[in-house]
Amino acid sequence: MIRCLIYIDPNETESSLDLIEAARQLHGDSFEVTGVLCSALDQPLPNVFDRLAVVAYPESGCVDPAQVVDTMQAMHWKDKYQSILIPATHFGRMLAPRLAMLLGTGLVADITQIRRKDDVVEVIRPAYSGSLMACIRYVGEGPMMMSVRPNVFRDMVKEERAMRIMPMQPRTSGGGIERIEVKPKQISYDIRESDVLVSGGGGAAKSFAKIERLAELLGGKASASRKLVDAGIAPRSIQVGQSGKTVSPELYIALGINGAIQHIEGIKQAKHIISVNINKDAPLTSLSDIVVEGDADRFLDQLIRRIQQYQQSE
């Protein structure tokens, strides 16, 4: 039986569960999947694993990546997994290279796509700061190990399994990390959870307040390209793209965004795209369902006014 091990990030549960679909694309429909959880959750996990290893750590303590890696290494020695998948979250990016080094295997980081041709597995990941997409082929023996970009395999149907809980103790004790202070996040929303995103780029640099207003009227959230983030106009927490967040809204409105490959890779899961740009030949327009050739600021003024008029007439 093919076995897969998935690390569950307690702060990114949905992104971790999406890795089950990544495992299915790696191995087909017949495989055994084990999840490893090293923290308590507010809500119980759905029965989508064959086995769930729950590692006991002190509630008041700080989970040490070195302890988690030692535990996962011991699990691999025992069960010999064919693949090990870790979400490319902040904590996951600390785990993955450590574990790969201990296991003496290669690591493909931040993958965005999996392709299988006969018995050959190929994975796609951004390279050179997202300006190129690299294709890596797995050859040889050893576990296939990768970290997976959040939100890439979202909305896939997850098969229910007869999940068996396995309580575990950390393989090593006495971590070298102490939690001194916890600061709450400044952002009040996660753009990955929104069904409607109104996103601004360099062509809408002076219109971000209007972008936020339009997003509010549409019941969505505002987001931004890297250009606005680098300019200090928008926070990095709402950046869309390979160096930001991968999103999959029902509607994505792109205002003044040309569409570099980094940005396009971050929105390719969007159901519908409306692009507003003075350049009708911008790369993003070829992917858009509707293209408006014109000034983004003027478009915002007119659409906001029309929506407000419609709401007042009801």
Q: What is the CATH number of the domain that holds 15?
A: 3.40.50.620
Residue whose entry in the numeric block shows the structure tokens 């858009």:
288
Supply φ then ψ for residue 132, to 5 degrees. -135, 155
Q: Is the pLDDT of residue 187 over 60?
A: no
- 212 in a domain, yes or no? yes
- Indicate if the pLDDT at residue 130 is higher than 80: no
The residue count of the chain comes to: 314
Does residue 10 lie within any of the structural domains?
A: yes
- Among 179, 148, 147, 165, residue whose Cα is nearest residue 55: 165
Cα–Cα distance between 169 and 275 in angstroms, integer? 52
Q: Are residues 124 and 253 in the same domain?
A: no
Q: Is residue 178, in this structure, part of any structural domain at all?
A: no
Helix (H, G, I), strand (E, B) or coil at 240: strand
Q: 198 near 214, Cβ under 8 Å?
A: yes
Q: Are residues 113 and 77 in the same domain?
A: yes
Q: Are residues 92 and 207 in the same domain?
A: no
The arithmetic mean of pLDDT across residues 98-113, rounded, is: 93
Q: Tell me which of 103 and 172 has the higher pLDDT.
A: 103
Residue 35 and residue 148 in one domain: yes
Average pLDDT over the chain, rounded to whole? 88
pLDDT score, position 183: 66
Q: Is the pLDDT of residue 116 over 60?
A: yes
> Are 66 and 97 members of one domain?
yes
Q: Per-residue pLDDT averaged across 288-306, rounded?
A: 94
The residue ranges of DSSP E strands in the chain, in sequence order, are 3-8, 32-37, 51-55, 83-87, 108-111, 113-117, 120-127, 132-137, 144-148, 164-168, 196-200, 221-224, 251-255, 272-277, 290-293
CATH for 205: 3.40.50.1220
The answer to whether the beta carbons of residues 170 and 73 sit under 8 Å apart is: no
Q: Are residues 7 and 139 in the same domain?
A: yes
Are 158 and 198 members of one domain? no
What range does the domain containing 216 cover? 191-313
Distance separating alpha carbons of residues 194 and 179, to the nearest angstrom: 32
pTM (global) more than 0.85: no
According to DSSP H, which parts of 33-89 are helical? 65-79
Residue 143 shares a structural domain with residue 198: no
Phi-psi region of 163 (alpha: psi -120 to 50; beta: other; left: phi over 0): beta
Would you give the DSSP letter of residue 39? S
Q: How confident is the model at residue 147 (pLDDT cuts 50, 70, 90)?
A: very high
- Total count of domains within the chain: 2
Q: Which helix (H) or strand (E) holds 146?
A: strand 144-148
For 273-296, write each residue's pLDDT tens digit.
999 999 989 999 999 999 999 999
Region 222-238: mean pLDDT is: 91
Q: What angle do CA 145, 67, 45 make, to 5 degrees?
A: 70
Please give the pLDDT value at position 168.
84
pLDDT by residue (tens digit) across 154-173?
Answer: 756 677 888 898 888 876 66
- Rounded to an integer, the average pLDDT of 143-162 is 82
Question: Amino acid identity, residue 11?
Answer: N
Asked if the structure places residue 202 within a domain, the reply is yes
Residue 194 or 38, more confident: 194
Same domain for 83 and 196, yes or no, is: no
pLDDT for the residue numbered 5: 97
